[in-house]
Amino acid sequence: MIRRDIQWKNTDTEPASVSVVIPTKDRADMVCRAIESVLSQTLTPNEIIVIDDHSTDNTIEKISKYNSLTIIPSPRSGVSNARNTGVLHAKSNWVAFLDSDDLWQKTKLEKQVSTIRDNPFTPIVHCHEKWLLNGRHLNQKKHHQKEGGDIFEKCLYRCMISPSGTMIHRDFFQKLGGFDPNYTACEDFELWLHITAKYSVAYIHEPLVIKHGGHPDQLSRKYLGMEMWRILAILELMQSKYLSKDQIQIATRVLTEKISNTKIGMIKHKRTQIIKLIATMEELQNSLKSNASTSNKNFERLSESLKLEMESIAVTA
C-alpha cells in the first residue's frame, strides 16, 4: 500500500464520541467476554461494531443475544479487512479497537476520552496493558514498556502500540488508508510506523487492557516469520519518501540490525527451505551498507523480491 503524507488537524467541534470495533473469527466464547468488558465501561460508547471474519462456529448465534451490537460480516478475510470494515461503518469521530481475545478495564474509554480532551493535537492515544499467559500473570520486559510522545525509533524495533489499547481519530485513520490487508502479520506494526514518523502519540501509563495469550489461534503464535514482516514494513516505509533524512538514517541502522539478526536465526535453525530468501536479505544488507538510495530501482526490486519469496515459501505457518 502506498500511503500519502497527510496533514491532519483535529477540527471537531463536538465532544469526542467513540465507536468500538471488534474483529472476530471462530471465538464465540472469547468475543462474548470482550463484549461484556465494553458493556461494563464507565463511559458508554456510542456504538459497538462486531466484524465477523467468516466464522464457522456459533459466534453469530452467541453474539446475537446482545441487542446493542451492530454485527457486520467482513467482505474479505483477514483482521486488517475486518478492522477497516468496522471503521468504514463507524459513525463516531473516534474509534477504539478491541481484539476478541482481549478485555478492557472498566475505565478504559473514560480515561482515553479525557486524555484526548487534554491533548487535542494528537490523532491517537494508547495505554499500558496487563499480560496473561494461559491465565497467569506474565511480567513484561523493560524493552516492552510502552510510551507516549515521539516514539518512532522505538517503534522500528518492535510493536509498541497494541490495537486493543488504541483509540484513533476516524478521519485520520481513513485518510492514512487503514490497516494494510497485504500484511498477513504485523499489520499494526506497519501502520504505527507511519503514524509515529509524523505524529506524537498520547499515552496512559495504566494497564487498561488485559491481553490473553497462549490460546492456539493467537496470531503471534500462528505466524513464524513475524520479523520478516517487520523488515518488509520498514523497507517499504523507507521507499515511500515519507521520512526525513534523519529518520532514514535511523531506519537504515535498525533495518540492517534486523536483517543481520534474522539471517543468523534462519541459519541457526537450519531453515534451508528459505535459502533464496536469505540470499535476497544479504543483497539488501549490502545495498544498505553501500548507502544506496532507498528510492532507486534496485531497492524496489529487492523489496518486491522479498515479498514474493515470503509468500511463495509460506513464511507464515
All 3 cell numbers of residue 241? 519518501
Phi, psi of 117 (to 5 degrees): -60, -35
Residue pair 281/274 in contact by the 8 Å Cβ criterion: no
Domains of the chain, start order: 18-222 (3.90.550.10), 226-312 (no CATH)
- Cα angle 108-112-113, degrees, rounded to a multiple of 5: 120
**Coil/strand/helix, residue 18:** strand
CA distances from 85 to 39, 67, 95, 295 (A): 21, 20, 12, 32
268-305 pLDDT, tens per residue?
A: 665 555 666 777 777 777 777 676 555 567 667 777 77
Q: Are strands 102-104 and 202-213 parallel, antiparallel or unpaired?
A: antiparallel
pLDDT of residue 158: 93
pLDDT of residue 223: 46
Q: What's the chain's average pLDDT?
A: 87
Closest CA relative to residue 232, chosen from 268, 274, 186? 186
pLDDT of residue 194: 95
Tell me how far apart the alpha carbons of residues 112 and 220 are, in angstroms, rounded to a whole number: 26
- Cα angle 182-249-128, degrees, rounded to a multiple of 5: 60
